Structure 1
Amino acid sequence: MSAQSCLAGPALDVGLVTNALEAQLGFYCGILGLPKSGEVSIPGVGTIHRLAAGASVLRLMVPEQAAQEVDNSGFFSGSTGIRYIAIKVTGLADVIAQIEEKGFRTIVPTRELRPGVQVAIVGDADGNAVELMEEQAT
């Protein structure tokens, strides 16, 4: 017997807390091409900047009081919790070249995950691990 889904939509949104909004917008909008779809201010908390990612939304939350920085320098699978986000892209080699040109960190260089699927893991402006995946047309 399985539980019935209570999801009200076809997507899962992700929220990242950042003190470096402009750098994060440069990464997600400037390099990955996610369009900004709005923002919402929450008094006493901060502002959420919404970026469209297909049916999903990436929420960049900028708190009113600067958030405590965490060390994201270790390998993404080295601790429990939400450790990376995954985004399907086209033109992975070009995307990685732009990321490296802008000085962002490559955590795992591009490699074949399985036949027809290339992946790389990079760090965004706050060091969050972002898996970029390209599936070859068959």
Structure 2
Amino acid sequence: MGIALTKQSIDLGINTTNGPAMLAFYRDLLGLKFVGEMAMPGGGVMHRLMCGDSLIKLRVMPAEPTLTPAAPGGIQSAAGFRYWTMTISNITEMVKACTDAGTPVVVPEKEFRPGIRIAIVTDPDGNWVEFLSLG
């Protein structure tokens, strides 16, 4: 028996201590729709942003010396979640907007397979965000 979904999208949680920069990247630069925020037990706040039908939960945590940062280096540098993908129709414009904003582009726009273009940028915490364009 497999999972019985009641929602046809995912919620993605991103923990950070770099709230203003991360919110500026996801909300202002990428244009994800801000739908609200809520205080979190134990401190901090969660900003909720929509990416199509998926919810991005940007949890700004109090800076604690015990927090372990994510392993740097991108897709092949460590096991676990390494990147997430947004399928978009304006890849060239988004890569330019990211470049103009000083966002690192770790994989420049290129044809990955016939009819499929990709580019990968990093958010302010170094998480990889892939843009995928079909057609």
Task: Mark yes or no: TM-score above 0.5.
Answer: yes
Give the root-mean-square deviation of aligned CA atoms: 1.6
Change (3 A) 1:45 1:8: farther
Correspondence for 2:26: 28
Counting only pairs closer than 5 Å after superposition, residues 1-138 of structure 1 correspond to structure 2 as 3-63=1-61, 65-67=62-64, 68=67, 70=69, 72-136=71-135
SS at match of 1:77: coil
**Which structure 2 segments of 5+ residues have no match?**
none
Measure how far apart 1:42 and its partner are: 1.9
Change (3 A) 1:135 1:20: same
Kept in 1: contact 2:91–2:133 (CA 8 A): yes
Measure how far apart 1:98 and its partner are: 0.9
Change (3 A) 1:82 1:88: same
Change (3 A) 1:69 1:90: farther
Q: Distance in 1 between matches of 2:105 and 2:81?
A: 19
Q: Distance in 2 between matches of 1:75 and 1:96?
A: 18
TM-score by length of 1: 0.87
Equivalenced residues, count:
133
Q: Distance in 2 between matches of 1:70 and 1:6?
A: 33
Measure how far apart 1:56 and its partner are: 0.6
Q: Distance in 2 between matches of 1:109 and 1:131?
A: 10
CA displacement, residues 3-39 of structure 1 (integer Å, 9 cap, x when unaligned): 2322221111111011122211221111211010111
TM-score by length of 2: 0.89
Kept in 1: contact 2:48–2:55 (CA 8 A): yes
**Identity within the alignment, %:** 33
SS at match of 1:79: coil
SS at match of 1:76: coil
**Which structure 1 segments of 5+ residues have no match?**
none
Measure how far apart 1:83 and its partner are: 0.7
